[in-house]
Structure 1
Amino acid sequence: MKKSALINAELSYIVATLGHTDEITICDAGLPVPDETQRIDLALIPGVPAFIDTVKAVLGEMQIEGIVLAEEFLHVSPDHHHALIELIRNEEELCGKSINISYVSHEEFKVHTQNSKAVIRTGECTPYANVIFQSGVVF
């Protein structure tokens, strides 16, 4: 469910059309995108846009109630993982609701992306910098 304005038309549209529990994925430059899933490709050059910047933009627009991460993200890219979890904790404070955090293997994560209404590809080149957002409601 949409929360505020976002400049990118494709991103704004996909968020506006989400229903409760629908999912979108924000991923690094290398995550495979299933053929049947809408791809919103924001990648320009390595690192642009960054994963965390894209997460911030989407969190400003989308109410979430859960996230799914690959277990490998925590161990291989701990700085990015920590930055993401900090954003999620801040989001919990802003919306006054807890956000469920689930971990699966990277292989399971890739399969799970098939459930996403869209995959948003960033220019991020940090291993496992991927997240699935599960849509919540603002009420």
Structure 2
Amino acid sequence: MKKTALINAELSHLVATLGHTDEYTICDAGLPIPSATQRIDLALTYGVPGFLETVKTVLSESQIEGVILAEEFPKTSPECFEQFMVLLNAEEQSKGKPITITYLPHEAFKARTHQSRAVIRTGECTAYANVIFQAGVVF
């Protein structure tokens, strides 16, 4: 049995097969997922699992160099956004590498998810609690 935090088989496979600059999305329960994109559906019920706990777990095993967020996220859901930024800042500090942040209008964000290798759906019900991660390298 796996010893690390990420024990979901589909997520483990995704992380293990990411290449530099590949993108993947972690989203709330309502974000439309492109039919041609792999869907990893973790949603059990409203709020379970949450966006932040999913982000934290996935970051424990993946290297990122950039994030893409909807520009509406900070104003519409400031508490969730601030908690996300705390996780992101901790990730920068622990890895010693900067993480680029890009903001897009929500409609453009949704269109960008079509480039994702996979979309990970959580049970989160906070507006705009979505992120596209851009894979980095560990060296």
| TM-score past 0.5 threshold | yes
Aligned to 1:64: 64
- In structure 2, the CA distance between the partners of 1:92 and 1:31, relative to structure 1 (3 Å rule), is same
Aligned to 1:27: 27
SS at match of 2:72: helix
> What is the one-letter code of the residue matched to 1:43?
A
Q: C-alpha distance in 2, partners of 1:62/1:27?
A: 17
Q: Tell me if structure 2 keeps the 8 A contact 1:5–1:12.
A: no
Aligned to 2:95: 95
Aligned to 1:18: 18
> What is the one-letter code of the residue matched to 1:50?
G
Q: C-alpha distance in 2, partners of 1:62/1:84?
A: 16
Structure 1: stretches of 5+ with no match in the other structure: none
> What is the one-letter code of the residue matched to 2:30?
G
Q: C-alpha distance in 2, partners of 1:29/1:6?
A: 20
Q: C-alpha distance in 1, partners of 2:127/2:100?
A: 22
Aligned to 2:119: 119
What is the CA deviation profile of residues 79-128 of structure 1, one whole-angstrom value per residue up to 9, with x for unaligned ones? 01111111111000000000000100000000000000000000000000
Q: Tell me if structure 1 keeps the 8 A contact 2:42–2:49.
A: yes
Q: Following superposition, which runs of at least 4 residues in structure 1 exceed 3 angstroms of deviation?
A: none
SS at match of 2:101: strand
SS at match of 1:34: coil
What is the CA deviation profile of residues 56-93 of structure 1, one whole-angstrom value per residue up to 9, with x for unaligned ones? 00000110000000001011000011111111110000
> What is the one-letter code of the residue matched to 1:89?
N
Q: Tell me if structure 2 keeps the 8 A contact 1:26–1:51.
A: yes
Structure 2: stretches of 5+ with no match in the other structure: none
Q: CA RMSD in A?
A: 0.8
Aligned to 2:37: 37
TM superposition shift of 1:6: 1.8
> What is the one-letter code of the residue matched to 1:110?
K
